[in-house]
Amino acid sequence: QVFDSILMRLTDRHHIPHRFFSQFPLTIRTMAEMLKAKFEDWHPRSAENLSLDDHLDKMSSIGKKGGNLYCNPVVTGVSGILIWGFVIWACVAKEDMAEDTAVAQTWVTDVWNWLYMVSQNIWILALFWLLFNHYDMKLGKDDEEAEFSDLTYFAMLFSCGVATGLWYYSAEAM
């Protein structure tokens, strides 16, 4: 029902004849049923006795390992359809796409902001753990003297981070 209402909205808004989509929902439903049947028993299995090459041989893939084209057709196909669907939607219904993505962005910001804040705090804790557990680590050979002091090295890294932000938010925008 949701798919049918989206098609009706699309055809009414852009004056596309309804007969254009007469077979389209049936095709999508048939493809969805085929994918559901293929992946019904899709739980992880133990692969302790399989090598990496044996595991890759059992996967659904196109091409040769180590060749120019080696991909999983399901992942590649689904992601290609989603990306091209979004691009076509953006070209056909610019105003609707702008409104809908603005609503989606607001929802993501309102609902998932806590996850972003928690993940950044975890990164800071992980960096402090690295700092205090591996403070005496030296970049270079053991018998060489450090070229820069800790304060100079920190200043260089800090200026790189600031310069990246300045470039992105000022010079890049011009």
Looking at the predicted structure, is the pLDDT value of residue 163 above 80?
yes
- CA 140 to CA 130: how far, in whole Å? 18
- Per the CB < 8 A criterion, the answer to whether 20 and 92 are in contact is no
pLDDT grade for 174, boundaries at 50, 70 and 90 = low
Tokens representing 23 are 């077979």
- What integer best gives the mean pLDDT of the chain? 76
Query: If we measure between CA atoms, which residue out of 1, 68, 78 comes closest to residue 32?
Result: 78
Give pTM, 2 decimals. Answer: 0.42
- Per the CB < 8 A criterion, the answer to whether 10 and 16 are in contact is yes
pLDDT winner (highest mean) among 37-46, 89-98, 131-140: 89-98
